[in-house]
Amino acid sequence: MKKLLKELAPSDTDSVDLDAEFRASNIKEVLDKLDLELIGLKPVKTRIRETAALLLVDRVRKKLNLTAGAPSLHMCFTGNPGTGKTTVALRMSEILHRLGYVREGHLVSVTRDDLVGQYIGHTAPKTKEVLKKAMGGVLFIDEAYYLYKPENERDYGAESIEILLQTMENNREDLVVILAGYKDRMDKFFHSNPGMRSRIAHHIDFPDYSADELLAIAKLMLAAQNYRFSPEGEKTFGDYIRLRMKLEHFANARSIRNALDRARLRQANRLFEGSKKSLARIDLMTLEAEDILASRVFLEGKLDGESNTGTETKK
């Protein structure tokens, strides 16, 4: 019997083809998609690739009975608004699913309002319902620090945190939680909640985009909607970006998307009010410099549609 067990046990000479495992997992498709979707963010992409490599090697190790316990996959994404945190979370959920670390691979994105109730007995059902929806996938909690409000004695966020902590520990093999928000506020949140800090193994910081990167993002956004800049329009939008970055409540790619929406609105009005009633396809596609110069960034030094809370609205 001992001889038979010895023959069946893996030996140090057993091997697997890591490249074949990589191809079979189809995670290359997800990593390539991430490169296409997001301009820049090299440190973030590097960390995602490193994490994918760790999980792939861990899966291969299991095939040779080299078990090391399930890796902790809960994460924290820090950075300013509009830096791609939600997009990366979505691709991370796909990677986890393709490598077999979550059953479904879906992403459930929530904020405090989805988790915390307004009266006694309301928070636990809300939090548990969200966790039920996210089970088998990834739960993305944006601005997670708002869960903790120690200055308010009647706040129920602490109850939600306790439920989250218990679920994160007991369901590590069926749920990955990603917390997101500004870095300084997340640091303060972890300092006040050591239990949460101890359960987060991966911290990824998302840098702001440069002006050139934001212009490249704008061109990608336009191309996805069958629009384009004229040469002068592109130059003018580059000037707009540099001015906009200096103003309050700048939200990186989110601000760029909102600015393009307003430029498209002005383009449509220009075409409708213009004397040229027979329009070629290129006319309908092209944003000109005048569609951008009408922004109050140029006229008054402040953005049109800007609210005091930093949330941009369209006009």
CA angle 44, 239, 260 (to 5 degrees): 70
- What is the C-alpha separation between 284 and 236, in angstroms, rounded? 19
Query: What secondary structure, in 3-state letters, does 204-234 show?
Result: EEECCCCHHHHHHHHHHHHHHCCCEECHHHH
- What is the C-alpha separation between 80 and 75, in angstroms, rounded? 17
User: Which residues are paired to 228 by β-bridges?
Assistant: 286
Residue ranges of the chain that CATH labels 1.10.8.60: 211-299
- The two tokens of residue 295 are 């922004």
- The two tokens of residue 192 are 């006040």
CA-nearest of 199, 118, 194 to 159 is 118
Q: What is the pLDDT along the chain (315 residues), one digit of tens a residue?
A: 444 334 444 556 677 788 888 888 899 999 999 998 899 999 999 999 999 999 999 888 888 888 767 778 999 999 999 999 999 999 999 999 999 899 999 999 999 999 998 888 899 999 999 999 999 999 999 999 999 887 777 788 999 999 999 999 999 888 999 999 999 999 999 999 998 999 998 999 999 999 999 999 999 999 999 999 999 999 999 999 999 999 988 999 999 999 999 999 999 999 998 877 789 999 999 999 999 999 989 876 554 444 333 434 333
User: Which residues are paired to 138 by β-bridges?
Assistant: 107, 176
Residue ranges of the chain that CATH labels 3.40.50.300: 14-206
CA-nearest of 128, 82, 133, 84 to 104 is 133
CA angle 14, 19, 21 (to 5 degrees): 75
CA-nearest of 147, 207, 144 to 180 is 144
φ, ψ at 184 (rounded to 5°): -65, -40
- Name the CATH superfamily for 14-206: P-loop containing nucleotide triphosphate hydrolases (3.40.50.300)
- What is the C-alpha separation between 210 and 221, in angstroms, rounded? 16
Q: 0.95 exceeded by the pTM? A: no
CA angle 274, 277, 278 (to 5 degrees): 135
CA 194, 198, 199, 200 dihedral sign is: positive
Cβ 51 vs Cβ 91: under 8 Å: no
- What is the C-alpha separation between 315 and 307, in angstroms, rounded? 12
Which CATH code for domain 211-299? 1.10.8.60
